[in-house]
């Protein structure tokens, strides 16, 4: 399975040709526009997708290809990364504090946390990928 992530810097609908060469199964695209509020061609290309953002022009989108299915997962609670020797406050967080984090499953077998980190360096959050049951 090929998963591609890309910060497209906006206007994904005009850059779809750039993705074709990679032949990816799942596209995780940061800084893309919401397909529901864009062109019909972009909506058709998006298919059965997940999108999250506060601005219709810039969010994070998960676009499955090749008959893959994605399902948004509702993770709630308080989480932390243990075993790391760091005093960073980024090692502990509450799900309600996360704005551009999208936990999802692929075909109900693989779980991934898609992340768009942005902001000043001291606001950066480390991205984490979680995998369950590869097929």
CA pair distance 34, 85, nearest whole angstrom: 39
Q: What is the pLDDT of residues 7-48, one digit of tens each?
A: 999 999 999 999 989 999 999 999 999 999 999 999 999 999
Q: What is the pLDDT of residues 97-116, one digit of tens each?
A: 777 889 999 998 999 989 88
Mean pLDDT of 104-131: 71
pLDDT above 50 for 129 = no
Name the residue ranges covered by the structural domains of the chain.
3-123
pLDDT at 80: 79
pLDDT-derived band at 119, boundaries 50, 70, 90 = low
What pLDDT score was predicted for residue 97?
75
- Output the pLDDT for position 133: 52
pTM above 0.75, yes or no: yes
Residue 18: half-sphere exposure toward Cβ, Cα within 13 Å: 13
Sheet holding 26-32, edge to edge: 3-7, 26-32, 58-64, 50-55
């Amino acid at each position: 399975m090929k998963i591609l992530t890309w910060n497209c810097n906006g206007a994904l609908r005009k850059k779809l040709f750039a993705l074709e060469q990679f032949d990816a199964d799942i596209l995780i695209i940061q800084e893309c526009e919401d397909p529901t509020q864009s062109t019909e061609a972009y909506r058709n290309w998006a298919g059965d997708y997940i999108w999250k953002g506060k601005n219709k022009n810039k969010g994070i989108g998960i676009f499955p290809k090749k008959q893959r299915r994605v399902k948004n997962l509702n993770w709630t609670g308080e989480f932390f990364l243990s075993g790391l020797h760091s005093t960073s406050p980024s090692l502990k967080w509450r799900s309600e504090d996360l704005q551009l984090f999208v936990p999802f499953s692929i075909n109900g077998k693989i779980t991934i946390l898609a992340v768009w980190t942005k902001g000043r360096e001291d606001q950066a959050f480390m991205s984490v990928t979680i995998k369950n049951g590869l097929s």
